[in-house]
Amino acid sequence: KKLGITGRDMVLKMGVDKYNAECRSIVQRYTKEWETIVGRLGRWIDFKNDYKTMDPNFMESVWWVFKTLFEKGLVYRGYKVMPYSTACATPLSNFEAGLNYKNVNDPTCVVSFPLINDPDVSFLAWTTTPWTLPSNLSLCVNPKFEYIKIIDKSRNNRIFIILEKRLPQIFPETAKADCTDERRAELYDIIGRFLGQELVGLQYEPLFPYFEALKNRAFRVLGDSYVTEEGGTGIVHQAPAFGEDDYRVCLAHGVVSKGEELPCPVDADGRFTQEVSDFAGRHVKEADNDICLKLKNTGRLVIKESCFHSYPFCWRSETPLIYKAISSWFISVESVKALLLENNTQTYWVPSFVQEKRFHNWLADAKDWAVSRNRFWGTPIPLWVSDDLEEMIPIGSVEELYQLSGVRVTDLHKESIDHITIPSKTGKGLLKRVDEVFDCWFESGSMPYAQLHYPFENQEIFDQGFPADFIAEGLDQTRGWFYTLMVISTCLFNKPAFKNLIVNGLVLASDGKKMSKRLNNYPNPQLVLDSYGADSLRLYLINSPVVRAETLKFQEDGVSEVVRGVLIPWFNAFRFFIQCVERLEMTSGMKFIPSNEISKQSSNDLDIWILATVYNLVAFVHQEMTAYRLYTVVPRLVGFIEELTNWYVRLNRNRLKGGSGEDEALTGLNVLYEVVMTMTIIMSPFTPFFTEYLYQHLRKFEKYYGNKDDSIPGDIIGKSDSIHFLMLPTPDVSRINLMAESRFKTLQTAVTLVRIARERRHIRNNLPLKNVTVVSANPAHIEALEYLKLYFVDEINAWNVTYSTDWEKMCLLKTQPNWKDLGKRLGKKMKEVAKGVAELTHEQIVSLINTGVITIAGIELTKEDLVVKREFNGDAKRYEACVSDDGSLLIAIDTTIDEEIYEDLRARQLAANIQRLRKTAGLVVQDRVEVFFEESGTQIATALGKYSNFVIQRVRSMPFPMALKPNNVVIVATEIINDTDLSKNAVKIVLTRPAIAVNSEALHEICDNNTMIETTTMYLQTLEYESVITKNEILVNIDGKLLSLKNKVHFFSNTLELIQNNVTLKETYPWIPSSSAL
């Protein structure tokens, strides 16, 4: 395309050496870009020691493969009708022809063939390739079909012979169900009937005069069973040079003979030769309409239409293929078919159906493989032959060529070897190399050997690595690379070339079409990588139908969703861990060093569950990766990230921040570290960049970080410089706890059901529920929820939960048939059974649940045949119920909302707003502040009177009225909040640094006046806070008077201490709980 070449002659005129130099430059042009994008995607490829099929060493190994097959008698020269690319001037293999089908409109025509012995009667034949009609040599019928002779009243009473079932081809309306006998009689009369066998041998008038010299054996009717009733007229026009069946049938009936030239008036570029004088020099596909016009002028065209059908295109040039008889070099695949089928059974494919169905069927119907191509760029076929082809010498190496020709070469392309001759050993002069090069698929199929320059070197490496442990490619390679690998390895060694194979589906554009630069129907890959990162793209693809050999309509939003839904939550969990560790180290003064022993000793239910889940996940990954099932692994990994971030971290947040004490925080952080590190390593093959980032931060906590001792293995966590130098973790069976996992599964199901019930009644999650009722026939469900009650109640935001296994009393039972299975089994009896099912009583359904069987209308049914549904048997106005998918768990929520509920809500909203303000102010977990609020009214104060404990647990500080804020405190953040869930009016919240609270009443007793009190207060509150709270007494000279200020008398470490020790403040703010209550 770059050089504007449209035919073979132009290459020869330019010079093969110059043409191949351009080809070589194209290969090398994109090498750097390829290396960059592959590296950016995180794919492991050794570019420094790569191979290219154009390398002399690779080509020499391909020569060795061919010579070996030749010497085994598996190579022959044949004459075969093959898919042919006129743009590339070369035949294609059948699997190449199957790579690029397109739906196109082509002209079709029905043509008449008058009988020699009765010119008024004509056979009718239909074709979608009018360009083949000038080469017609025979017609073919099915000997067993019934044909009719008709008078066509719509076409001047012409007489035709046609297959009766194919009358709609010339009378389309007869295919309609409402076509009457009267209408048929208006169209045609049937005047004769006969079997196809009776037509065989009849001669007809040729369409064109081009091959009249063959009249003595051509232009007659043949019989073969390949003619079907599915299309056309039931009579097939035969051009043996352009149809595989045409050639076979004509050969079998003596119309053509082996070893003689076929009437093939089409040149290498797809143009008619001088034999077809009327259309000489024209491309065959361009001549279709003019051929039809000529037939119309001679009275032989009966119908001309167009047909929208699927047609093969050249996968290289995107031009229509034709079928054309050519001479070629073949590998005798059919002779090793049984071995191919056996070797296929020795391989393992994912998904298996591709191997068992598609690939097996392709092998079972395998045809001999034409491996020669009439091209210039490629590995030349190393066969030197005499002019009469009776003497052939296959060359298997550069050295062998030198020994026989005396010419040593360093390059094996056409321009470097075509001039070399070999003296004949039988007196036939000089042997010359055949003109063809190898089909590129022959090179691809030879890559297990050629990549290593086998057998010339790397013998030991080859023996250790063949067959390959694993390969992966697209579904379209079933007839391509997978096939050629299997054929060549079977022919060479009678074994498959690979052990395991993952078949990828095809990635299409979002509109379902093939991705096309011309259509610009896909996003720029580099921009996708720049926008979302390689890991998100990798996860999107690995977690898609593509890894199950199905197609994927690529959606950029899907890649973006991976970032939002997977990577960001995962990163947030990591960041939260780092913040909590920094807080712990700051408060304890000790460096955090992770210890598996600490996490093993944890009795915390969340810890036990998450460790059990992660090690069960590790076991699952090993099991599934061993079986090459990516499509089961990644969804489970992504699901675990949800478990970690949305369940473990969220439920444990307060504990990990020290809310339950430093010992508990240390234990929780050890567990979280172990889980995050294990998760990071197990995910590293899937998200190599993000996991490397996490590892480089996490490894700094390890005791072996920075260790230079050579006696310590380099692949230990912490010492290893990269996560990708680590082996995948093995499952710690002692940590797997199926009971813990089952309990939390029940908890998650129950929580989900409560959320669904809330949504149905439009009750927000932040509004507490007065009561939730849990009903289950499975005692294990009740046990799980009672065991995890604290987590359950907190998650569903409920005041009270009641449990019951008395589902017979609490639920209404309904049943319905499993229509799909029962319908097939019962047939007409289904209606009666369905009526009986609808009439089942509550007691009968209970019996079915307990016994597992029931008899209806004389037929015994099991629980698999009937679906039992449970509905809440309670006050439907007050309660909203929801049932799990399997019907084993029912949740009913009390939907009552009153002022008491709103007080709880205000406390929660206050805590949420304080947390949000902390975040806005840039505070981290370990930053301590005091909180003050100002409201119009007493709504918040009332709520705090009841729920202050909840607020303190969330924000680690008791909010106080603004009047109690020290005057000389450092303000960290201030916000005026308009939130109706918090208060009807605007609320002001102020965060301050911790400050000394001064007891003004006590200062009155030792100070002379208010000014002295204010000065003393300012003095205390401007001292360094941490140094003041540790002192029992402070001596200070104010206005010449020495004051003795006592801790817990004149000053306190916080406002709450002050209130508890000041009677006036206690009476002013009675809703503030005592410190003991808190």
Q: For 927-950, how does the pLDDT look when each residue is reduced to its tens digit (9 = 90+)?
A: 889 999 999 988 999 999 888 888
The answer to whether the beta carbons of residues 787 and 818 sit under 8 Å apart is no
pLDDT at position 258, please? 65
Buried b (16+ CB within 10 A) or exposed e, 209-223: ebbeeeeeebbbbbb
Tell me what pLDDT residue 462 has.
Answer: 95
Instruction: Give the C-alpha distances (Å, rounded to integers) separating 83 from 137, 288, 445, 464, 1004.
Output: 20, 19, 20, 39, 108
Q: Is the pLDDT of residue 806 over 90?
A: no
C-alpha distances in Å from residue 785, one per residue of 602, 747, 750, 1025: 21, 6, 8, 46
pLDDT tens for residues 390-444?
Answer: 899 999 999 999 999 999 999 999 999 999 999 999 999 999 999 999 999 999 9
CB atoms within 10 A of CB 543: 20
Which pLDDT value is given to residue 865?
A: 76
Res 234 pLDDT > 70: yes
Position with higher pLDDT, 1076 vs 170: 170
| 776 alpha-carbon distance from chain centroid | 38
N-terminal to C-terminal alpha carbon distance within the chain: 82
Structure tokens at 633: 């692994």
- Residue 165, amino acid: K
In contact, 925 and 893? CB cutoff 8 Å = no
Both tokens of residue 445?
A: 């199929």
What pLDDT score does 309 carry? Answer: 87
Compute how many other C-beta atoms are within 10 angstroms of the C-beta atom of residue 753.
23
User: Please, where are the H alpha helices in 143-212?
Assistant: 181-187
DSSP string for 795-812: HHTBS-EEEE--HHHHEE
The mean of the pLDDT values for the chain is: 90
Q: Which residue has the higher pLDDT, 9 or 775?
A: 775
What is the dihedral sign for C-alpha 354, 357, 360, 365? negative
Say yes or no to pLDDT of 225 above 60: yes
Give the per-residue pLDDT at 581.
Answer: 93
Tokens of 772: 């939730």
Band (509; pLDDT cuts 50, 70, 90) = confident
The predicted structure's pLDDT at residue 516? 76
Q: Which residues of 580-619 are buried (b: 16+ CB within 10 A; e: fewer)?
A: bbebbeeeeeeebebeeebbeebebbbbbbbbbbbbbbbe
Residue 957's pLDDT band, with cuts at 50, 70 and 90, is: confident
In the predicted structure, residue 1056 carries a pLDDT above the cut 70: yes
Q: Nearest-CA neighbor of 621 among 731, 705, 756, 516?
A: 731
Mean pLDDT throughout 615-623? 93
Q: Which amino acid is at 601?
A: Q
Q: Would you call 824 exposed, middle or buried from its count of C-beta atoms within 10 A (0-12, 13-18, 19+)?
A: exposed
Q: Please report the pLDDT score of residue 133 as a whole number.
A: 97
What sign results for the dihedral spanned by CA atoms 957, 963, 968, 973? positive
Give the distance from CA 771 to its chain's centroid: 44
Residue 837 has pLDDT above 80, yes or no: no
Task: Tell me if 211 sits within 8 A of 137, measured CB to CB.
Answer: yes
Surface-to-core class of residue 788, CB atoms within 10 Å of its CB (0-12 exposed, 13-18 middle, 19+ buried): buried
Per-residue pLDDT reduced to its tens digit, 745-771: 999 999 999 999 999 999 988 889 999
- Give the span between the Cα atoms of 993 and 966, in whole angstroms: 10
Q: Kindly compute the dihedral angle of the four CA atoms of residues 905, 906, 911, 916, in this order, to the nearest 10 degrees.
A: 100
- Contact between 77 and 330 (Cβ < 8 Å): yes
pLDDT higher than threshold 60 for residue 45: yes
Residues whose CB is less than 8 angstroms from the CB of residue 415 and which lie 6 or more positions away in sequence, other chains included = 15, 16, 17, 20
Q: From 1050, 1046, 965, select the one nearest 1002 (Cα to Cα).
A: 1050
Look up residue 926 and give its amino acid.
Answer: Q
Q: What is the mean pLDDT of residues 643-663?
A: 90
Q: Quick one: pLDDT at residue 831?
A: 79
Angle at 452 between CA 449 and CA 457, to 5 degrees: 105
Residue 926, pLDDT above cutoff 90: no
More confident residue, 197 or 830: 197
259 — pLDDT class (breaks 50, 70, 90): low
Of 956, 295, 275, nearest to 665 by C-alpha is 956
Q: Is residue 619 within 8 Å of 739, Cβ to Cβ?
A: no
- pLDDT for the residue 1034: 92
Q: Does the predicted TM-score (pTM) go above 0.75?
A: no
* Tokens describing residue 106: 């082509």
Rounded CA separation 723/573 (Å)? 19
SS3 399: helix
Confidence of residue 1075 (pLDDT cuts 50, 70, 90): low
Encode pLDDT of 118-138 as tens digits: 999 999 999 999 999 999 999
State the pLDDT at residue 808: 67
Amino acid occupying residue 1002 = A
Q: What is the mean pLDDT of residues 619-643?
A: 89
**pLDDT above 90: residue 515:** no
Handedness of CA 874, 876, 878, 884 (dihedral sign): positive
Residue with the larger pLDDT of the pair 806 and 340: 340
> What integer pLDDT is reported at residue 389 of this predicted model?
86
Helix (H) or strand (E) holding 558: helix 556-562
| Whole-number Å distance between alpha carbons of 1037 and 352 | 90
Region of residue 395 (left: phi > 0; alpha: psi -120 to 50; beta: else): beta
For residue 526, the SS3 value is helix
pLDDT tens for 377-400 read 999 999 999 988 889 999 999 999
What is the four-CA torsion angle of 16, 21, 23, 26, rounded to 10 degrees? -160
DSSP letter string over 640-699? HHHHIIIIIIHHHHHHHTTTT-HHHHHHHHHHHHHHHHHHHHHHTTTSHHHHHHHHHHHG
Give the number of C-alpha atoms closer than 13 A to the C-alpha of residue 478, restricted to the C-beta side: 23
- Can you tell me the distance from the alpha carbon of 848 to that of 753, in angstroms, rounded to the nearest whole number? 26
Task: Report the distance separating Cα 532 and Cα 305, nearest Å.
Answer: 51
Q: How far is CA 56 from the centre of its chain?
A: 38
- Which segments of 589-629 does DSSP mark as H helices, in order? 596-600, 605-626
Q: What is the pLDDT of residue 148?
A: 96
Secondary structure element (H or E) that encloses residue 856, with its range: strand 853-856
Quick one: pLDDT at residue 7? 66
Alpha carbon distance 340, 487 (integer Å): 7
- Residue 6 has what pLDDT? 66
d(CA 60, CA 64): 6
Instruction: Please state, as a whole number, how many other Cβ atoms lie within 10 Å of the Cβ of residue 110.
Output: 21
The per-residue pLDDT for range 160-197, each reduced to its tens digit, is 999 999 999 999 999 898 889 999 999 999 999 999 99
pLDDT at residue 521 in the model:
81
d(CA 312, CA 336): 28
pLDDT at residue 885 is higher than 90: no
For residue 514, the tally of other CB atoms under 10 A from its CB is 14
Q: How far is CA 670 from CA 599, 706, 720, 734, in A?
A: 6, 21, 20, 17
User: Given this model, what pLDDT does residue 1077 score?
Assistant: 52
Contacts of 440 (CB under 8 A, 6+ apart): 53, 373, 378
Inter-CA distances, 905 with 637, 797, 892, 918, Å = 36, 10, 21, 20
CA distance 1018 to 998: 9
Task: Write out 116-142 in H/E/C secondary structure.
Answer: CCCCCEEEEEEECCHHHHHHCCEEEEC
Which has more confidence, 492 or 46?
492
Q: Is the model's pLDDT at 251 over the cut of 80?
A: yes
> Among 587-591, 839-843, 953-957, where is mean pLDDT lowest?
839-843
Q: Which residues pair with 310 in a beta bridge?
A: 103
Cα separation values, 674 from 609, 611, 700, 832, 967, Å: 13, 8, 14, 60, 47
Work out the pLDDT band at 1076, boundaries 50, 70, 90: low
CA distances from 478 to 444, 501, 546, 977 (A): 13, 11, 15, 65
User: What pLDDT is attached to residue 1031?
Assistant: 92
**Alpha-carbon distances of 441 from 480, 481, 487, 505, rounded to whole Å:** 7, 7, 11, 20
DSSP-derived 3-state class of residue 569? helix
Query: Would you say 907 and 944 are in contact if contact means Cβ atoms under 8 Å apart?
Result: yes
Q: How confident is the model at residue 510 (pLDDT cuts 50, 70, 90)?
A: confident
